[in-house]
Amino acid sequence: MEKLKAMALYTDFRKELIYIEKELENAVQSDSPLIQQASIHLLRAGGKRIRPIFVFLSSKFGDYSMETTAKVAVSLELVHMASLVHDDVIDDSNMRRGRKTVKAKWDNRVAMYTGDFIFSRALTSIGEIEMTSVHQLLADTMLEICKGEIIQFDYQRRTDQSFRDYLRRIKRKTALLLSSSCELGALISNADDEVVRRLRNFGYYAGMAFQIVDDILDLTSSDKQLGKPAGSDLLNGHLTLPVLYIRNEPSFQPYLAKAFAGTLSEKERGDMLRYIRESGAIEKAHEVSDLYLEKATAEIRLLPDSDAKKAFEQVAEFLAKRTF
Amino acid sequence: MNKHELNSIVEKYISDLQYALRESILKREIGHFPVDSIKAFFLLLPIVNEKIKEDKLRKITLSVGAIHAALDIHDRIESAQATSAEQQLTVLAGDHFSGIHYRILAEIGEFGFIRGLSQTIAHINEQKTSLHHERRTTGPILLERLKVIESGCTATYYKTYGFDSYLDLAETVLTFVRLDRMANSTEQQAFAIDKTIIQQAMDLLLPKLNLELEQMSSLDPLLQQVIHELVNPLKSLS
């Protein structure tokens, strides 16, 4: 049902979405049957295509060209996909979006090469755009995302993190790429500087809200809805916002210790999730996500009226309020 | 130029590359990563031989060195189990190096090279996947795949910036060096290839290697000497 809602939101941009899907498939064509199979496996796993959508919507605030915009949109989605394949190796994840990960279906090395292949295709696609500012922004964004993952590794299984640490982490993990998606879309269509700035900010705030909701859903959804075990973030040693609120509660600490040590039984996992859901931490995390959503919509509100502006407002609302 | 000066040039390049790729957490957790000095030598070969002092080319060679480091370090990931901290950070190190290669090229606006190199990187990963996954290979196939893997990025650099005349030499030597490592190194190799196939590939490449070594007259005598010193011990082992 929710997925249908998402598709409905995208209805006005159906033509662009179909084009993007086709271009994504073209981009991962390979002489290696195995790489092609692994890449198509990833593409077919779906995904919300938020990054391409943000690029398209942002480019509508300037001189829009579908072909040029698609090159950037495809590139950003491929960068995202490449990072997911490598993340699954790092996290030793066997399932993503209800499907076997590349590393589980083949092995770690195939996942590494597939990720590097997809990353190279992202550069081939965006390489067609001969604008230094575009490449600098994407390169800086990619490095920051990677830096974020390295820092996340450093914080793994550590309970002495501050809220600021968490916010910095999700900024690099998610908000930056969404912010850059908006900025790049605006840049390639030569939108006004003020519009570029507002769209960049919008992407950032929407990205923060999106990631907080994602972290909440990891704790509130079922295994089936998530396509992986609920509570995976904790099992992988990552503290997320709801858990930050309750990490020092004596009755919660044994769960946390066991989750980080990898010794949590199935029953204890269920008990831990129930504890979190009943603790009030989910509601507090939602309040923070709502604050970011308000900031995002405030940026959009000051942009000139258009279909793209309306769609942005709807997409932002949907991303922050989604239940899957 | 004497040998000392040449060594300084290569060492400075390696040190500049390590500086460009530095990242404090990676350094703390996985230490200094090795730069392949032979690949570095061949990247610098045209510049040194033709005494070119162009800052842009220096940056481009750093960018190619960064992608070499990225692709090489990802070969260290274990197929079945990569859950150790060192393995996890090795994944991220490769991604970080890869990002650095792109940032260098983005800063100097080398769009054509970004496109060309990205296609080569794709091709290298296709070859690596095949080599990793196929149950059996042959000498000629191994040779073809290793040529792309070892010298693909250097070849794209040469072709893009008008150094085509160095191409055959670099491809042949770099492939031969890799085959030698696969045959004789005690370190764990990225690909599990039967020694007889490796030997078959070396035998196939040897005549071409000899030919290339005979045709180096356009190179500075010192560079010729260095290449001979590099290759001759390997030839005697093969």
DSSP for B38-97 reads HHHHHHHHHHHHTT---HHHHHHHHHHHHHHHHHHHHTTS-SS---SHHHHHHHHHHHHH
Per-residue pLDDT band for A20 (boundaries 50, 70, 90) equals: very high
Q: Using an 8 Å Cβ cutoff, are A252 and A246 in contact?
A: yes
A95 - beta bridge partners?
A: A100
Residue-level pLDDT, tens digit, chain B, 238 residues = 899 999 999 999 999 999 999 999 999 998 878 899 999 999 999 999 999 999 999 999 999 999 999 999 999 999 988 889 999 999 999 999 999 999 999 999 999 999 999 999 999 999 999 999 988 899 999 999 999 999 999 999 999 999 999 999 999 999 999 999 999 887 888 899 999 999 999 999 999 999 999 999 999 999 999 999 999 888 776 6
Residue listed under structure tokens 């070396």: B202
* Predicted TM-score (pTM) of this structure: 0.95
- Architecture of the domain defined by B3-237: Orthogonal Bundle (1.10)
Do B128 and A113 lie within an 8 Å CB cutoff?
yes
- Confidence (pLDDT) at A233: 94
Tokens of A293: 């959503």
Tokens of B165: 């005349």
**Is the pLDDT reported for residue A23 higher than 50?**
yes
Minimum distance, in Å, between the CA of residue A177 and any CA atom of chain B? 14
**Is the pLDDT reported for residue A4 higher than 70?**
no
Minimum distance, in Å, between the CA of residue B37 and any CA atom of chain A? 23
Break chain A into its structural domains and give their ranges: 2-321
- Confidence (pLDDT) at A8: 59
Residue in A92, A108, A156, A236 to test binding to B, most B beta-carbons within 10 Å: A108
Amino acid at position A88, single letter: D
Do B126 and A112 lie within an 8 Å CB cutoff?
no
- Confidence (pLDDT) at B31: 85
Of B77, B95, B109, the CB nearest to A109: B77
User: Rounded to whole angstroms, how far apart are CA atoms B99 and B93?
Assistant: 10
User: Rounded to whole angstroms, how far apart are CA atoms A222 and A273?
Assistant: 10
Q: How many CB pairs under 8 A join A and B?
A: 144
Of B88, B117, B129, the CB nearest to A35: B129
Minimum distance, in Å, between the CA of residue A214 and any CA atom of chain B? 23
**Is the pLDDT reported for residue A12 higher than 90?**
no
* A248 inside 8 A of chain B by CB: no
Taking residues A164-183, what's their average pLDDT? Answer: 96
End-to-end C-alpha distance for chain B, whole angstroms:
32
Break chain B into its structural domains and give their ranges: 3-237
| Nearest Cα residue in chain A from B130 | A32
Do B111 and A130 lie within an 8 Å CB cutoff?
yes
Taking residues A156-161, what's their average pLDDT? Answer: 92
Minimum distance, in Å, between the CA of residue B115 and any CA atom of chain A? 5
Per-residue pLDDT of A184-229, as tens digits, reads: 999 999 999 999 999 999 999 999 999 999 999 999 999 998 888 9
Do A32 and B25 lie within an 8 Å CB cutoff?
no
H or E element, residue B143 = helix B139-160
Smallest Cα–Cα separation from A209: which of A295, A141, A144? Answer: A295
Q: Using an 8 Å Cβ cutoff, are B189 and B182 in contact?
A: yes
Do A138 and B102 lie within an 8 Å CB cutoff?
yes
Please give the radius of gyration of chain A, using alpha carbons only, rounded to the nearest integer: 19
Q: What is the ipTM of this complex?
A: 0.97
Tokens of A129: 């755009």
**Is the pLDDT reported for residue A99 higher than 80?**
yes
Q: What average pLDDT does chain A have? A: 93
Of A32, A92, A146, the CB nearest to B95: A146
Q: Which of the four CATH numbers 3.40.1380.10, 3.40.50.620, 1.10.600.10, 1.20.1440.130 does domain A2-321 have? A: 1.10.600.10
Do A120 and B79 lie within an 8 Å CB cutoff?
no
Task: List phi, psi (to 5°) of A301.
Answer: -55, -35
Minimum distance, in Å, between the CA of residue B94 and any CA atom of chain A? 9
Q: How far is CA A293 from CA A179, A217, B212, in A?
A: 14, 17, 64
* A113 inside 8 A of chain B by CB: yes
User: What is the DSSP annotation of A49-103?
Assistant: -HHHHHHHHHHTTSS--HHHHHHHHHHHHHHHHHHHHHHHHHHT--EETTEE-HH
**Is the pLDDT reported for residue A58 higher than 60?**
yes
Across A266-280, A305-319, B114-128, B206-220, least confident range: A305-319
The angle subtended at Cα B41 by Cα B40 and Cα B45, nearest 5°, is 120
